Chains A and B, each alone.
Chain A
């Protein structure tokens, strides 16, 4: 499989008054034209990993890695200005809650057109046509009305589809979806995922799907990294997640209620301090 992204030994550190806090500790993985899931609890470093790839960690945060190669070119060696050509155009990101990730005082149309025109020198009319097309691609009927509307007039599901349209419009190769459905009603989660999945597949993109929802990731992804305390503790095929060996993964799986095997009492995850100390498992596919 062709490798889009190759990350070796990624660290994200935040110096503070009480010493340095390491949010991500030596994570390595590759991403091809596949759907890679990153699962973990809050604070496990999964979101930080996504943001570090786009070099969006703001000072005083520090990103270190042997390499973050995008098709053979190290992103860490790029200047800030060169990074801007990567962001949006080659790697983009959908965030958790469209209520906060869309600018509340700008028309939706302007925000989508802006995303397109940042990377394509075209006029307003062309950008408008392209945006309409993109909105229709994420199954938004009445796209012209939505273009004129403001984010607060949209529901969560609509907002997230708009977000996907906005992030896909410059035609990137990689999309990072950071808990894209966690803020949505369960009833629209599936719908949004299906739209995202369809578009990512059609375009042959690589997808990094960050979530805390094991079942969702197992269903939706090809490969899964399980993160704990800033490290990858286990890597496995999504379809074989139930065969996972690491006690943390097992613990997570056992703490989920199952319709087919009801239990009176769910297991409580017993944490072993050794998990945090063990070296990170590599998710690289040579």
Chain B
């Protein structure tokens, strides 16, 4: 009887619209992933043989000072309770205070992440705009000089150490030719001129209609961004080439040719449409990689990004900063994944 009642009840309930269940599922999976990520990083941060109290009070503090801080940090409580407190704080946007500089970690991240976002976005745009066509042409003209050229370009991208290319770039284009700006995000006399809105100087200066700052910021970002872009170009162009080669052998390509289509249309209207989903994966991966912050590039170009921030924090056992940085990078990864899943469905009817 109970069973019959249950099914009756289920039938009466109106089914949720599909977009709503999909959205809820997505949010749920983001939440679970983030929870897992925070749990792991938190545990690693706490079991590390670094005494957070000593890091704050210093080695010469008295026992009473030590104990006061110990209790204040809640270190007397079980790990799981500490984790709950941490979760509560994070939910309020509070990642704690950086031991290194005494700032709120959230403020620090708000400062360094836009710098990385700006650099990585420009880099990945560079990589896509040049890498995709290069890969397509290399596949279509397989074995030709342009294919060989693409191979060499990618090989150099894979094998040259970025710090060497970065230093050479600075030496040639900044030091010798003076075509681009030097290290840093803007020249020192333009710092803090435009009001902070997004934290990305290119965008903030456009919003402020301050073209001088825009020009200066662009001259600073162009070299590190093309350098990062070059590395994603190497990867993206190789992957594009192999995806395209696979599609060009497909039978529907013969169909398109039988119809009397020009080769250009066969390539772009038919073959290319079929590699979009795979390409998105590759682009999202390389974008996510850049958003983690590329420590070497940031250090060479004195770029105050999240990569060098986390690295510095890690080296000085500043666990709050490390945890905060990790959570933000993790969130970016997860969101990028969700976004590329969404694009799959747009581009491939079979994934709907």
Contact = CB atoms under 8 A, between A and B. Distances in A.
A21 interface: no
A13 B341 CA distance: 45
A163 B350 CA distance: 20
B260 A88 contact: yes
A75 to B, nearest CB: 13
A114 B260 contact: no
- By size class, the interface of chain B is 20 to 34
Contacts of B256: 103
B268 to A, nearest CB: 13
Given A84-B261, A85-B260, A88-B260, A105 B254 contact: no
A285 interface: no
Contacts of B350: 104-105, 150, 152
Given A56-B257, A105-B348, A152-B350, A84 B252 contact: no
Contacts of A115: 259
B246 to A, nearest CB: 13
User: B252, B255, B274, B276: which has the most chain A beta carbons within 10 Å?
Assistant: B255
B262 interface: yes
A97 interface: yes
B270 A103 contact: yes
B49 to A, nearest CB: 54
A93 to B, nearest CB: 5
Contact of A97 (B251, B260, B348): B251
B93 to A, nearest CB: 42
B273 interface: yes
A56 B255 CA distance: 10
Interface in B261-302: 261-262, 270, 273-274, 276
B258 A152 contact: no
B324 to A, nearest CB: 41
A106 B273 contact: yes
B260 A100 contact: no
Interface in A94-124: 95-97, 100-106, 114-115, 118-119
Interface residues of A, number: 31
Contact of A104 (B258, B260, B274): B274
Contacts of B258: 54, 56, 87-88, 92-93, 167
A167 B350 CA distance: 24
A276 interface: no
B81 to A, nearest CB: 52
Nearest to A60: B143
Given A84-B262, A85-B260, A87-B260, A101 B255 contact: yes
B250 interface: yes
Given A150-B349, A152-B349, A152-B350, A100 B252 contact: yes
B274 A105 contact: yes
Contacts of A163: 255
B259 A87 contact: yes
B86 interface: no
B218 interface: no
Contacts of B250: 100
| B252, B258, B273, B276 pick with most chain A CB within 10 angstroms | B258
A88 B254 CA distance: 12
B35 to A, nearest CB: 36
B257 A87 contact: yes
A89 B273 CA distance: 25
A103 B349 contact: no
Nearest to B249: A58
Given A88-B259, A105-B274, A118-B261, A95 B347 contact: no
Contacts of B259: 87-88, 92, 114-115, 118, 166-167, 170
A103 B260 contact: no
Q: Which of B254, B260, B262 has the most CB of A within 10 A?
A: B260
Contacts of B262: 84
A86 interface: yes
Nearest to B351: A105
A103 B261 contact: no
A164 to B, nearest CB: 12
B143 to A, nearest CB: 10
A180 B259 CA distance: 17
B135 to A, nearest CB: 19
B260 A118 contact: yes
Given A103-B274, A114-B261, A170-B259, 12 more contacts: A56-B257, A88-B259, A93-B258, A97-B251, A100-B251, A104-B348, A105-B276, A105-B350, A106-B270, A115-B259, A118-B260, A118-B261
State the 10 A-B residue pairs at the shortest beta-carbon distance, nearest first.
A88-B260, A100-B251, A87-B260, A150-B349, A88-B259, A103-B252, A101-B251, A84-B260, A93-B258, A115-B259
14 contacts: A84-B261, A84-B262, A86-B260, A100-B250, A101-B251, A101-B252, A102-B255, A103-B270, A105-B350, A106-B273, A114-B259, A118-B260, A152-B350, A170-B259
